Amino acid sequence: MSPTTAPGATAAVPCYGNHVANNSAGSDSGGALLWYCDAAVEANRFLHNAAPNGAGLALGNGCASSLVNNWIIQSSGDGIYVSSSSPHILNNTIVGSASQGTERGIWMYASTAPSPGYAMINEITNNIVMGFSKGIGGTGPVTPTLDYNDVWNNTTAYELPAHVATGAHSISADPRFVSPESANYHLLADSPCINAGDPAGVPPAPPADIDGDPRPLGGRVDIGADEFAGFWQVVLPLVRR
């Protein structure tokens, strides 16, 4: 399999198919730090990392990367922290810890100085964000486009400037994972995230999911990093000779 870059993103630095777990940092990002770069961060599993800002991932200083098809799970801190950058955040599964503390699923910050400051124009589509103190939020001149996300079981779902809409097609429902206790964040057959993504399809969604399964497999793409592939059971007759 090879990375599938989000439309409009420049993949100068590929970061694909990694398992990044149990790391910590004193400031920014226990999982991965992207600083003044364009990168394709796709199909990675960031598990149990810790940092004050962006325990899973942190981006800063004009980073225009694509974050696609990643699992960002039970970070001690923010799932994704975006500072004065404009990434594409598409089809990720971002799950907080049980405590919910002060953790934020996706948090955006843009400085107002020097004037006129850095206006973040980023895309947040088809993501699952659950189990945080704040689901999706930001401060400063942030102008993200949000829609078709499942933002569920957060103390506060959205904390955004008044001019930012949360998306008319976003939902808030249990995504129904196979087995969170064993770190299996694939979707069950009754998940409300199935066929609930952006009907525009591919693009903006990537043409494959975290496992390399093609999108869409149903009438529409699914929300989150996993495209539900279903299951089949084949029963063969027993023939005795």
pLDDT of residue 27: 80
The reply to whether 232 falls in a domain is no
pLDDT of residue 1: 46
- Is it the case that residue 187 has pLDDT exceeding 90? yes
Q: Torsions phi, psi of 48, nearest 5?
A: 60, 45
The reply to whether 83 falls in a domain is yes
Q: Which residue has the higher pLDDT, 208 or 75?
A: 208
Please give the Cα distance from 81 to 149 (Å, whole number).
Answer: 17
Number of domains forming the structure of the chain: 1
Handedness of CA 122, 225, 36, 102 (dihedral sign): positive
pLDDT of residue 136: 96
Q: Answer yes or no: pTM beyond 0.85.
A: yes
pLDDT of residue 97: 79
Q: Which residue has the higher pLDDT, 143 or 235?
A: 143
Q: Return the closest-CA partner of residue 52 out of 73, 28, 31.
A: 28
Bond into 216 cis (ω within 30) = yes
CATH for 157? 2.160.20
Q: Count of residues for the chain? A: 241
Please state the rounded mean pLDDT for residues 153-178: 94
For the purposes of burial, counting CB atoms within 10 Å of the CB of 116, is it exposed (0-12), middle (13-18) or buried (19 or more)?
exposed
Convert the pLDDT of each residue in 109-151 to its tens digit: 887 765 545 556 789 999 999 999 999 999 888 888 999 999 9
Instruction: Provide the residue range defining the domain that includes 183.
Output: 13-187
Please provide the average confidence, as pLDDT, over all residues in the chain: 86
The reply to whether 114 falls in a domain is yes
Determine how β-strand 123-125 pairs with β-strand 145-147: parallel
pLDDT of residue 178: 96
